[in-house]
Amino acid sequence: MQLYLGEEMIDDYHTGELTRRQMLRRVLRICGSAAAAAVLLAACGEGQPAAPAPTTGATPPTPLPASTALPATAQPAATVQPSAPAATAQPQPGAAPLSVPATDPAVTGSDVTFQGDAAISGYLAQPAAEGSYPGVIVIHENRGLTDHIRDVARRLAKAGYVALAPDLASRAGGTASVGADQITGFFANATPEELVSDLNAAVVYLGQQKSVRAGSYGVVGFCFGGAYTLRLAAANPAITAAVCYYGVTPQPASQLSTTNAAILGQYGGNDARVNSTIPALEAALQSGGKIFKKQIYEGANHAFNNDTGQNYNETAAVAAWAETLSWFEQYLKG
């Protein structure tokens, strides 16, 4: 997890999300020591000391290396669905068309707290109209529970789901308390067992809501949350549908061979680091006879769905959201 999060910070630096000073500071906190940070930086081709030097301004972002997009169609297998043709995504300016404001009368949203091994905070969004709806866990990026992730929960609520976005930094007091520079370090030092335990507690709490249809649970996650989408799908047999946005395949990948979830993977064509882990995911799911589909959006980078970030790609985000809703329609509502 330290390597993965460190690579994320370096990617954020290269795409202009972070200054070099910010990146170095966060890598140091992820690794826990200057020596370990130096090793990680060298392994990622940075080759600079971990301690940030004084600077008077942001370092211009370095262009990303040429992409190595994977094929848009999965290898044939009886239980693996072929992917749709790869979408060619071009960045587009303007307001995010998918956003659902907190004031939208079709949805209600509120901060909640529930109990797991520790007290866990989160954000619960649901349709304003009374009814019985499938439930979906929304797993945030390595930045914690942000307004963007709350927005994603409301998007699901508007589409007819009860969505719970747990704050996986709750054991440290929550995202707001930990702070932007510290939060990746917290996640790097949290164990997968702790985080999956908190996610399992979120599934239990979601199922206790009177508006949630019993036995109808899905999960969607982004980046760090995409990886934990796969971990939760592997660990919790109640999850029947999962959508992983550009998350690395967890190790060992074989843990996914027994999942009950139909899994959709959504990836940016330029995201070579994450995409290199797709074959292991495919192999594990094929070996277990599981349902899997991947969609790769050519021209899109890592984190293309986040409309608050530098990598936002409207064309890819809109197409991927349509795929997400179609997947949940088939495997949660169907």
Catalytic (active-site) positions = 223, 271, 302
What distance in Å separates the CA atoms of residue 1 and residue 190, rounded to the nearest whole number?
9
What distance in Å separates the CA atoms of residue 284 and residue 258, rounded to the nearest whole number?
9
Angle (deg, nearest 10), helices 2-14 and 20-31: 180
Across the strands, what pairs with 221?
139, 244
DSSP letter string, 46-79: ----SSPPP-SSPPPPPPPPPP-PPPSSPPPBTT
Neighbours of 115 (CB within 10 A): 10
Closest by CA position to 207, among listed 260, 135, 150: 135
Look at phi and psi of residue 104 and say left if phi exceeds 0, alpha if psi is from -120 to 50, else beta.
beta
CB distance 252 to 277 below 8 Å: no
